[in-house]
Structure 1
Amino acid sequence: MEMEMELKLHVKVVINKEKTKVLFAEADSNFADVLLSFLLLPLGTIVRVLEKHYRRKAPVIGSLTTLYKGATNLNFIYFEGEHAKNHIISSTHFETEFCKLGLNICGTHPTSSSSGKSNDGVFIKSTARCIISDDLRVLPIVTGSIIETLSSLGIAVEDMDGTETRNVASGLNEIKALLKESLISTNPLTSLIFPGRRQMILATDRHVFLSRIDENAILRNTKRMILKVMLQKSTNMLLFAQADSDFVNFLFANLTISLGRVEWFLGSDSGLKSIDNLHRSVADDSNNIRVKDSYTKDLLIKPKPTDHTYSCSENEYCFLNFNRHMSYGYVDGAIMYMVSDDLTVAPLGVTSGLSIINELKISLSDIKEVKMQVGLEEGLSILKAALTSTTALTDGLIKPFLKKQEREQQLQ
């Protein structure tokens, strides 16, 4: 165990000293494998790993952090058995693959089918070397013009003046730091080497770009969940939503989806720019990364664990519980729940609802209740917003709803 903790992965980093900026890194398959393993991490596991590592200084990842904490803090009595809660807050898939990595960010131990680091490479062929840009585009090292390589990375020739190459050793601490930076920064390598040079990812007013979801897929997923949303009349500000178990099951199931699957759902356009680039590096056939085989490529592009969260095998667009085929639920279906803008879930109570209204000093006469339908499109919009925004319901549901209403009124 001590030897495993001492293991370091080495990577060559080319920096512009004057701009204190990483231009690119050159790495072997061991480092590339660990980087690509980020795509297999369930969203809840990402929050759990960072919370455990950084404790009070853990970063806030959109609304995922509060969604995860809400699931953790919700009493076991509201779940369909202790195993249901445990599946949400400690879900880890692909243990065999993680245990083969030189550095296992999940901390899982080898099983009988996985005995430590693989000599054949885990995702990338062991003989392959890669170029990694500051924003996590991964390219194969090929013979050709250095100028062309720099151009493909978006690096100007003048940026190479006065560069310095450093050999950087990365252990688990550095890999966890890289995971954090890839979720909150658009230049994670620079942020890792020069902590003060972080460029933050900003949540913007946007509607989800459904490049993987066509109209037929939306029509096939006919299920709609009903939310009763409490809005302030004068401002359309969201106060909270009242939901039954279907919607809460959907929210909690998001924590069990792997990051790569989320990227596939959203067409490598999740708003997490560095993770988008990492996913495109594998998904783009023209990139020619030396992935081991087609099964491994598929695993990274759209990881699909064989458990109840994906119950609709005949339709790859089937999204969690947006189809009646899913009979499993996480929470008690006999009660109603209150969902905050940041996706915090709690049992619904009259006093808790009034408490929120009183804290905001809003008159009851200035409150309206709006029924909203949440289907596949709306669900993906909420999921996308949750990755970068601490107001996921407002950005993923309310704003698109109000814009649609405005367009319809203009057409009348």
Structure 2
Amino acid sequence: MAAAKISLKILIEKKSQRVIFAEADKKFVDFLFSILTLPVGTVTRLLQKHDMAGSLHSLYKSFENLSDDLYLQPEQDKDFLLNPMVAIYGAKVPLLLPSVEQHSYSAKKFYRCSASHWYFCQNVANDRRAFCPSCNKLITNELRYIDYVDPVPKDTKASSSSEGGYVKGVITYMVMDDLDVKPMSIISAIILFTKFNVTDVGALEEKVVELGMDEGVKLLRASLQSSTVLTDVFLQNDQKIQNHNVKEEFGIEGVE
């Protein structure tokens, strides 16, 4: 899937310079939920150059540096842990993270014994490299297991089912600063204004931002370290620029 760019409308409380919420469509929400499918190895690899907190970076590097010949079992492939495929279960989501290999598991595959008398074997495996414990033959003959049968014919389904992804596209969503996602509603917006003590509409600023791969990685990192993710990703750079300008204009030191 080609790299995507997603536009997002955010509402900012100007005094505190914090995002109150973002008005998002299906694409952004699908991307957020796709983060939940990422294996730990993929997350660690993506964040290695971004001051990753914790010890997973060291664990990742130690496995990466182990000699294949001296220490690893012969059937092991380093990429299985260092660069695992992301299970997306047939959902098409915007690709906002670099070098993430997606693999669809919409239908599982199983294999049976390849021996001529396979009908006497009751052994099934999900890896065609396995050997049958009964006759010691490779289990390579493919079977197919459908774990869900839709009782509704495809041609009678709503057109929205062809959109893919995780959520429906006919709805506008509110994404909070901590990535809490809910359907857009006036009541939810009023509650947020009360929470932020917003009594004057003039204290709010609407801004349209774009997300590409760089912002996707920043959002992933912030989601693991912060409860003000949207503010950190979309306003942090603006705040640094403002502070830098203040230092230059007034010679003030220590402004962060």
TM above 0.5, one fold?
yes
The superposition leaves residues 352-371 of structure 1 with CA deviations (integer Å, 9 ceiling, x where unpaired) of 11221122211211001010
Cα pair 1:233 1:366 within 8 Å, conserved: yes
Q: Which residue of structure 1 aligns with residue 214 of structure 2? A: 377
Cα distance in 2 for residues equivalent to 1:349 and 1:303: 39
Establish whether residue 342 from structure 1 lines up as the match of residue 178 from structure 2: yes
Cα distance in 2 for residues equivalent to 1:259 and 1:401: 31
Q: Decide which structure has the larger Cα Rg and report it.
A: 2
Establish whether residue 228 from structure 1 lines up as the match of residue 65 from structure 2: no
Cα pair 1:229 1:372 within 8 Å, conserved: yes
**Equivalenced residues, count:** 184
Cα pair 2:219 2:230 within 8 Å, conserved: yes
Establish whether residue 332 from structure 1 lines up as the match of residue 160 from structure 2: no
Cα distance in 2 for residues equivalent to 1:370 and 1:405: 17
Q: Which residue of structure 1 aligns with residue 125 of structure 2? A: none
Cα pair 1:268 1:279 within 8 Å, conserved: no
The 1:399/1:286 distance shift into structure 2, 3 A limit, reads farther
Cα pair 1:264 1:301 within 8 Å, conserved: yes
Cα pair 2:23 2:175 within 8 Å, conserved: yes
Specify the SS of the correspondent of 1:361. Answer: coil
Mapping 1:256-267, distance limit 5 Å = 256-267=37-48
Mapping 1:99-248, distance limit 5 Å = 221=3, 223-248=4-29
The 1:296/1:318 distance shift into structure 2, 3 A limit, reads closer
Letter in 2 for 1:254: I
Cα distance in 2 for residues equivalent to 1:408 and 1:309: 45
The 1:351/1:280 distance shift into structure 2, 3 A limit, reads same
Q: Which residue of structure 2 aligns with residue 157 of structure 1? A: none
Q: Which residue of structure 2 aligns with residue 317 of structure 1? A: 99
Letter in 1 for 2:179: L
Establish whether residue 398 from structure 1 lines up as the match of residue 179 from structure 2: no
Match of 1:364 among 201, 206, 210: 201
Higher fraction of helix: 1
The 1:306/1:364 distance shift into structure 2, 3 A limit, reads closer
Unmatched segments (≥5 aa) in structure 1: 1-219, 321-326
The 1:316/1:353 distance shift into structure 2, 3 A limit, reads closer
The 1:268/1:281 distance shift into structure 2, 3 A limit, reads farther
Residue 294 of structure 1 and its aligned partner are, at CA, apart by 7.5
Residue 271 of structure 1 and its aligned partner are, at CA, apart by 2.4
Q: Which residue of structure 1 aligns with residue 187 of structure 2? A: 351
The 1:383/1:234 distance shift into structure 2, 3 A limit, reads same
Flag the structure with more relative contact order, 1 or 2, with Cα contacts below 8 A and sequence separation at least 6. 2
Specify the SS of the correspondent of 2:221. Answer: helix
Specify the SS of the correspondent of 2:235. Answer: helix
Q: Which residue of structure 1 aligns with residue 35 of structure 2? A: 254
Cα pair 1:339 1:345 within 8 Å, conserved: yes
The 1:233/1:319 distance shift into structure 2, 3 A limit, reads farther
Cα distance in 1 for residues equivalent to 2:100 and 2:40: 17
**TM-score, with structure 1 as normaliser:** 0.39
Cα pair 1:269 1:276 within 8 Å, conserved: no
Cα distance in 2 for residues equivalent to 1:405 and 1:287: 50
The superposition leaves residues 109-165 of structure 1 with CA deviations (integer Å, 9 ceiling, x where unpaired) of xxxxxxxxxxxxxxxxxxxxxxxxxxxxxxxxxxxxxxxxxxxxxxxxxxxxxxxxx
Residue 224 of structure 1 and its aligned partner are, at CA, apart by 1.1
Specify the SS of the correspondent of 1:296. Answer: coil
Cα pair 1:240 1:339 within 8 Å, conserved: yes
Unmatched segments (≥5 aa) in structure 2: 103-162, 248-256
Cα distance in 1 for residues equivalent to 2:233 and 2:9: 15
The superposition leaves residues 374-403 of structure 1 with CA deviations (integer Å, 9 ceiling, x where unpaired) of 111101100011112122222233213544
**TM-score, with structure 2 as normaliser:** 0.61
Match of 1:302 among 43, 62, 83: 83
Residue 267 of structure 1 and its aligned partner are, at CA, apart by 2.6
The 1:306/1:386 distance shift into structure 2, 3 A limit, reads closer
